[in-house]
Amino acid sequence: MTTRYEVRDGVAILTLDNPPVNGLSYALRVAFAEALDKANADAAVKAVVVTGAGKAFSGGADIKEFGSPKAAAEPNLLSLIRACELSSKPVVAAIHSVAMGGGLELALGCHYRVTAPGANIALPEVKLGLIPGAGGTQRLPRVIGVEAALNIIVSGEPVKSEFIASFPGQKLFDKVIEGDLMAGAIAFALERADVRPLPLVRDMKVGHPEADAYFKFALNTVTAMAKNFPAPRKCVEAVQNATRMKFDDGMKAEREIFMNLMFTPECVSLRHLFIAERAASKIPDVPEDTKPRDIKKVGVIGAGTMGGGIAMNFLNAGVPVIVLEMKQEAIDKGFGVIRKNYEAQVAKKKLKQEKLDERMGMLTSTLDYAALADCDLIIEAVFEEIGVKEKVFQALDAVAKPGAILASNTSTLDVNKIASFTKRPQDVVGMHFFSPANVMKLLEVVRGEKTAKDVLATVMAISKKIKKVAVVSGVCDGFIGNRMIEQYGRQGGFLLEEGCTPQQVDKAIEKFGFAMGPFRMGDLAGNDIGWAIRKRRYVEKPNLRYSKTADLLCEMGRFGQKVGKGWYDYQAGKRDAIPNAEVEAMIAKHRETLGVTPRKISDDEIVHRLVFSLVNEAAHILEEGIANKASDIDIVYIYGYGFPVYRGGPMNYANQVGLFNVAQMMKKFQQNPLDDAKFWEPAPLIKKLVAEGKSFV
Ligand code: NAI
């Protein structure tokens, strides 16, 4: 039963019970309505208490019903809330923990609310590109005031119940109950059993002494912050409606705004990503109940750029880390960087000094492989050379305990080959972190041919613990993300050859929403890294044409921000990219060498060549089974490559443009003699989907 019913001391207790967070599914709503009727019909019942089983009061809408007709089927949430308001007996919401979205809206429809301290209260709809749709924008301002309510609604962030309870004059909580919440809630309900009229939030007054000025200010602030998202501005509008419309009119307006937002591309993208992120951890042939291995201690080989960041992830999650290096100096240097990172967080008041000490206390080092014998997971982050990896994995094979997971952070090397350096390829896996590894949320989990299922399950579970979003990739050059970015980079180079400046390309794609264009990105990452990769890669693929401009740039010593010059110039201590005449001259000269007359290229062409190059390569990746599903690719690009969130990732964007149109544009790009006609042949998967009138799923 999704809503349990029992009577205790003359009080009916309705317990929402739909794990994991008591999502307000159709079944739950039906059961709730029946239970409420039963309570009202029972003469022995004097009052009703609504509570949630397990770890939540209610997390709101049931995500399994997203987009299905069941989500709105009667009794819908609005009807349920109305039923609570109309109950002839007092209804008390007893909130012991999470009350979010529809869960909070349901509580706001009850006559009273009592809470335990520490409960998370939120209206997170804005994070899905929506506003609260069941009265949240109308009722919350009535109980905690306009400003506090708008902050909660526009941020979507949870706030602790005891903090809200401390607001002067707040009416969200009638009582904060320390100790046994249910006993307290029953006592409270009995106390109010005979009080009439029953208080309704809808009848409470709401206003702001400087309403016009305040809402103007709020709208300006939100507009500046929300840029490409319509929902936050609509939150302001809806809350303002609460101050100037009658309750029912405000509700009607809220509903209209909610429905209009639902079908905006931004909302569709955000909802897609919400589901995609949850789906990413599911691997088709790895059963969900696969038992993960225990990870109590982690070893990291190499204390360089990546090793240090990787170690921090585990320390932050309370997992002890031992780092192995070749020399003590390398350890001192690496640990110095880790400490500095933590100290910067302490200076910004994001971390307490005790936490810094605690984390550094969990970090140890060694120069001797034998010290890794008790590690459950060992992640290698040494130089990107197969010979070095071979030595490291042989050494690990000799000392690691049976069942220990041996992972490589390689970004370009063959994980199957690395696995073959050991006698336990089933325990070897790629864990490809992104730089800076302590910040970037993406983790590509590279599944070798022999990687065991429980190794994958373990790595997916531990990635959650260290707050990463993990996506599984098969073995291929560049895995999912870098294999696609190679095509994007090639297009960037061709655009320069055909007539663009680096800033024109960067500006166009940044206007599309990318955090950074390809040339600013190259300067940040270091142009020499790509140079080294190209030297290796294009020896192996002599027929794959690419623009030599990036090599010429490196020959000029313009490696990027670290040397103060790359595609752009940089002033010390600043990140502003200043166009450079020598770079433009180099590009112009290169065009002359190729015999190319530059042409004016539209922003639209720039954006679509860059983005659809990602899409076409991604379609091949899907066909080859390197990625399990299109939404995984979107997650990789959102969390690892700064793809605009409101466009939902390259595959979602292609779906929104329509695959027929995408294929047409690819065919047009094929006609460009300066581009790569072979590459632009739409991938067979795209052709198939177009023929079937379908999208990527
Ligand atoms: P790095 O040069 O900053 O650090 C490598 C560290 O490994 C150095 O401190 C070195 O002393 C140590 N080392 C080398 N050989 C060793 C050995 N045999 N035993 C113990 N320690 C040894 O390199 P970085 O950038 O941290 O890269 C490490 C790995 O991570 C490479 O495989 C790289 O491809 C990969 N990677 C790098 C990314 C980046 O953006 N830098 C992103 C993703 C992966």
Residue 63 clears pLDDT 90, i.e. is over it: no
Average pLDDT of the segment spanning 339-359: 97
Could you please report the per-residue DSSP string of 406-463? EEE--SSS-HHHHHHTSS-GGGEEEEEE-SSTTT--EEEEE--TT--HHHHHHHHHHH
Q: What average pLDDT score do residues 69-93 get?
A: 96
Domain final position from 446, 473, 500? 473
- 40-52 pLDDT, tens digit per residue, is 999 999 999 999 9
C-alpha–C-alpha distance, residues 112 and 104, integer Å = 12
| 273 belongs to a structural domain | no
CA–CA distance, 567 with 504 (Å, rounded to integer):
12
Beta partners for 443? 433, 470
Full domain range(s) for residue 249: 3-262
Q: Closest ligand 1 atom to the C-alpha of 435?
A: 40
Across the chain, how many H-helices and E-strands are there?
A: 28, 20
Dump pLDDT digits (tens) for 398-457. 999 999 999 999 998 999 999 999 999 999 999 999 999 999 999 999 999 999 999 999
In a domain, 545, yes or no: yes
List residues with catalytic annotation: 105, 125
Question: Has residue 227 got a pLDDT over 90?
Answer: no
Quote the pLDDT of residue 370. 98
409 lines ligand 1 (CB under 6 A): yes
Assigned domain for 612 exists: yes
Distance CA 323, CA 459 (A): 19
- In this prediction, residues 297-317 reach a mean pLDDT of 97
Give the integer Cα–Cα distance in Å for 491 and 683: 17
325 lines ligand 1 (CB under 6 A): yes
User: How many structural domains does the chain have?
Assistant: 3
- Calpha distance 635→641 (Å, rounded): 10
Name the residue of 305, 485, 527 to mutate for ligand 1: max ligand atoms within 8 A of Cβ.
305
Place of tokens 């949870």: 158
Tokens read off for 113: 């609310």
- Contact in structure between 613 and 488 (CB atoms under 8 Å): yes
155 plus 258 within the same structural domain: yes
User: Is the same domain home to 469 and 493?
Assistant: no
The verdict on 497 and 462 lying in the same domain is no
Mean per-residue pLDDT, 163-181: 97
Instruction: Return the ∠ at Cα 271 (arms to 266 and 273), rounded to 5°.
Output: 95
- Asked whether residue 159 is assigned to any structural domain, the reply reads yes
Q: What is the pLDDT of residue 561?
A: 93
Domain CATH code at residue 539: 1.10.1040.50
- Is 372 a pocket residue for ligand 1 (Cβ < 6 Å)? no
103 pLDDT above the threshold of 80: yes
Provide the CATH number for the domain around residue 129: 3.90.226.10
Q: What is the rounded distance in angstroms from the CA atom of residue 390 to the CA atom of residue 369?
A: 14
**Residues 647 and 604 grouped into a single domain:** yes
Task: Give pLDDT, residue 143.
Answer: 98
Q: What percent of the chain has pLDDT over 90?
A: 95
Q: What is the pLDDT of residue 427?
A: 98
pLDDT tens per residue, range 531-560? 988 887 777 777 788 999 999 999 999 999
pTM: 0.91
Choose between 607 and 575: higher pLDDT: 607
Using the mean position of ligand 1's atoms as its centre, give its distance from the Cα of residue 483 in Å.
20
The 3-state secondary structure of 381-405 reads CCCCCHHHHHHHHHHHHHHCCCCCE
Give the CA-trace dihedral at 295, 282, 648, 138, to 10 degrees: -90
Same domain, 522 and 413: no
pLDDT (0 to 100) of residue 635: 98
Q: Which two tokens stand for residue 19?
A: 């794990």
Atom of ligand 1 nearest to the CA of 412: 34
Q: Give distance in angstroms: CA of 568 to centre of ligand 1.
A: 27
Per-residue model confidence as pLDDT tens digits over 504-522? 999 999 999 998 999 999 9
Q: What is the mean pLDDT of residues 103-112?
A: 98
User: Which of 325, 368, 382 has the most ligand 1 atoms within 8 A of CB, as the residue to mutate?
Assistant: 382
151 and 72, same structural domain? yes
Ligand 1 pocket member 330 (CB < 6 A):
yes
Cα four-point dihedral sign 124, 129, 135, 137 = positive
User: What pLDDT shows up at residue 544?
Assistant: 83
Q: 366 CB under 6 A from ligand 1?
A: no
State in Å: Cα 436 to ligand 1 middle. 13
> What pLDDT is stored for residue 426 in this prediction?
98
Rounded to whole angstroms, the Cα distance separating 411 from 434 reads: 9
CATH of the domain at 384: 3.40.50.720
Residues 645 and 522 in one domain: yes
Is 300 a residue whose pLDDT tops 80?
A: yes
Q: Are residues 468 and 499 in the same domain?
A: no
Q: What is the pLDDT of residue 64?
A: 80
Classify residue 647: in a domain, yes or no. Answer: yes
Ligand 1 probe mutation, 300, 301, 306, most atoms within 8 A of CB? 306
Is 278 within a domain? no
Q: Is 324 in the pocket of ligand 1 (CB under 6 A)?
A: yes
411/502 same-domain check: no
Mean of all residue pLDDT scores within the chain? 96
Q: Is residue 442 lining ligand 1, measured as CB closer than 6 Å?
A: no
Q: What per-residue confidence (pLDDT) applies to 451?
A: 98
Tell whether 287 is covered by a domain.
Answer: no
pLDDT of 537 reads 76
Of all protein residues, the one whose alpha carbon is nearest to atom 38 of ligand 1 is 435
Angle at 643 between CA 579 and CA 129, to 5 degrees: 125
Please check whether residues 255 and 324 belong to one and the same domain.
no
